[in-house]
């Protein structure tokens, strides 16, 4: 469940990166408003959230070895 949480938060944060918060899809607007540090910070957060999310999903999907019968 925690892995899905981090993936949802990362997806939500992508809206801020490409939308009105940092104008990443409009580089001239982003440069004019001086939003480069904000874009870098949000991108770093998204990368960390994606990494945590995928890692936790990987751990959840692993199969434990069955105990050997004596």
Please state the rounded mean pLDDT for residues 21-37: 89
Could you state, in order of their start, the residue ranges of all structural domains in the chain?
A: 2-61
Using alpha carbons, select from 60, 43, 70, 44 the residue that is nearest to residue 5. 60
CA 38 to chain centre: 15
5, 49 Cβ separation under 8 angstroms: no
Quick one: pLDDT at residue 70?
Answer: 65
Position of tokens 């607007």? 29
**10-27 tens-digit pLDDT:** 999 888 888 878 888 888
Nearest to 52 by CA among 6, 5, 1: 6
Cα-Cα end-to-end distance for the chain? 35
pTM of the model: 0.78
């Amino acid at each position: 469940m925690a892995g899905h949480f981090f993936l949802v938060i990362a997806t939500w944060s992508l809206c801020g990166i490409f939308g009105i918060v940092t104008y990443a899809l409009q580089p001239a607007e982003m440069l004019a408003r001086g939003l480069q540090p904000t874009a870098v910070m949000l991108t770093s957060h998204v990368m960390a959230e994606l990494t945590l999310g995928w890692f936790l999903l990987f751990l959840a999907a692993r199969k434990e070895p069955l105990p050997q019968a004596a």
